[in-house]
Amino acid sequence: MTDVVVVGIGADGWPGLGEAAREAVAKADVIAGSRRQLSLLPEMPADIVEWPSPLLPALRELLASGKRVCVLASGDPMHHGIGATIAKIIPSVRVIPHPSSVSLACARLGWPVESVTVVSMVGRPLSAVFAPGRRFIVLSEGSGSPAAVAEALQACGYDQSALTVLEQLGGPGERIGPIRDDLDPLNVVAVECVAADPLPIVPGLPDDAYDHDGQLTKREIRAVVMAFLQPNGLLWDVGGGAGSIAIEWMRADRSCRAVTVERDPERAARIAGNAGRLGVPTLKVVTGTAPHALAALDPPDAVFIGGGLTAEGVPETCWQALKPGGRLVATAVTVESETVLARWHKEKGGDLTRLSVSRAAPVGGFTGWRPAMPVTIWSTRKPQDFAT
Ligand SMILES: C[S@@+](CC[C@H](N)C(=O)[O-])C[C@H]1O[C@@H](n2cnc3c(N)ncnc32)[C@H](O)[C@@H]1O
């Protein structure tokens, strides 16, 4: 059985390793790591393996070799690191952590670690819902990441935020300061959010937070829809429009995922833009027509039908795919779509609600009520013991 140890190493290299970590490296038959990590070690008798790309097949082969393997990782191997991947393959793995870049950044800034939200830009776009006073530590992918963070802050009115780049933390080349031209690729970005006119963090963002062509579930209705949906897990947002339901679902919690299906390519492109700007760029946008476009999607924990209710097979497909215990919420403004909801409500139960919203607007020199079309909302839950 392969003896595997994962050793966290910092920018302070070999001198920064403790006794146990040095011993684990020195005793290994094979030492594996990135070129940068391996370059931090003194001459060793072991075989040295630099990670190829893709990493996973090489890792599996190495872990099955029966040799004493030492894998190097940056900082804390169990924090956005290779340690967690290895622990899944070899549960008996021994992990020797080094302070993570997050711990070092918080130490330099005087921030309690528990006061920060950590997000990674390594191999993925920045996903961060900014809110006044919220602190983020962003794990950069390279020297361009700090500028991408600044751009994301600017795009949603947070350009007054304090942004600090912390390079080569713990090493001889450590530098802490604002964005510069010659940033080291090894850096993290610390952000303390400040905005003059912040968006709310609860559902029901103002309509003008979205780029839209009028196909948008309006703010007041959206807030009620979100209350019925109760964000948790994976959402299908059928008939995405501007993407507001899927976006607010994902903003509710970092664990929430969503896929939105929109038949109009121009709107689909707009949804992606809205999602990026509002901090949830990993929203999956499918350009296609329901129900066909739903066929290849993972089963959802909840479904919202905001468009396509009267299309043949849309509610049936959604209901079939929904996980037992999941919620289905649908809105209707036409007599035809209301008829569909009435039928489904009769068959499956749940709440049928009708909302009429009027907004005050100028009428000559006075103020009058401008009514929007009433919206019918059906909300139900699939039984836990649903079998067919
Ligand atoms: C009222 S809008 C939904 C608004 C959306 N909930 C929002 O807040 O942005 C309805 C959308 O459903 C889309 N749609 C209608 N039928 C569809 C179908 N069968 N498949 C996919 N999209 C559909 C329309 O193109 C339109 O963009």
Please count the helices (runs of H) and the strands (runs of E) in the chain.
11, 19
Share of the chain above pLDDT 90, in %: 93
Indicate the average pLDDT of the chain: 95
For residue 388, the model assigns a pLDDT of 53
Q: CA 93, CA 86: separation in Å to the nearest integer?
A: 7
Interval 265-290: pLDDT, tens: 999 999 999 999 999 999 999 999 99
Could you tell me the two tokens for 204? 């029901």
Own/partner contacts of 165-169, CB < 8 Å, gap of 24 or more, are 165/189, 165/190, 166/101, 166/104, 166/105, 166/108, 166/190, 168/11, 169/10, 169/11, 169/101, 169/104, 169/105, 169/108
> Which of the residue ranges 63-67, 85-89, 236-240 has the most confident prediction, judged by mean pLDDT?
236-240
Q: CA 307, CA 11: separation in Å to the nearest integer?
A: 53
For residue 61, the model assigns a pLDDT of 87
What are the boundaries of each domain within the chain? Answer: 3-98, 102-192, 207-381
Interval 113-122: pLDDT, tens: 999 999 999 9
For residue 187, the model assigns a pLDDT of 97
Given a cut of 60, is residue 110 above it in pLDDT? yes
**Higher-confidence residue: 2 or 335?**
335
- Terminal C-alpha separation, the chain: 46
Given a cut of 90, is residue 385 above it in pLDDT? no
Q: Which atom of ligand 1 is nearest to the CA of 304?
A: 6
Interval 293-341: pLDDT, tens: 999 999 999 999 999 999 999 999 999 999 999 999 999 999 999 999 9
- The residue contributing the CA closest to ligand 1 atom 23 is 239
Over residues 58-83, mean pLDDT: 91
Half-sphere exposure for 298 (CA within 13 Å, toward CB): 8
Q: For residue 387, what pLDDT band results from cuts at 50, 70 and 90?
A: low
Given a cut of 70, is residue 249 above it in pLDDT? yes
Any ligand 1 atom below 6 A from CB of 216: yes
Given a cut of 80, is residue 18 above it in pLDDT? yes
Confidence (pTM) = 0.90
Side chain identity at 31, as an amino acid letter?
I
CATH class of 102-192: alpha beta
Any ligand 1 atom below 6 A from CB of 83: no
- The residue contributing the CA closest to ligand 1 atom 1 is 215
- The residue contributing the CA closest to ligand 1 atom 17 is 308
Interval 202-228: pLDDT, tens: 999 999 999 999 999 999 999 999 999
Find out whether 156 and 173 touch, Cβ atoms under 8 Å: no
Task: Name the CA radius of gyration of the chain, rounded.
Answer: 26
For residue 1, the model assigns a pLDDT of 60
Any ligand 1 atom below 6 A from CB of 215: yes
Interval 344-356: pLDDT, tens: 999 999 999 999 9
Q: Give distance in angstroms: CA of 216 to centre of ligand 1.
A: 9
Q: Give distance in angstroms: CA of 323 to centre of ligand 1.
A: 22
Over residues 371-388, mean pLDDT: 90
Interval 174-209: pLDDT, tens: 999 999 999 999 999 999 999 999 999 999 999 999
207-381: CATH number: 3.40.50.150
Fold agreement between 102-192 and 207-381: no
Q: Give distance in angstroms: CA of 229 to centre of ligand 1.
A: 17
For residue 248, the model assigns a pLDDT of 98
**Higher-confidence residue: 92 or 164?**
164
CATH class of 3-98: alpha beta
Q: Give distance in angstroms: CA of 185 to centre of ligand 1.
A: 42
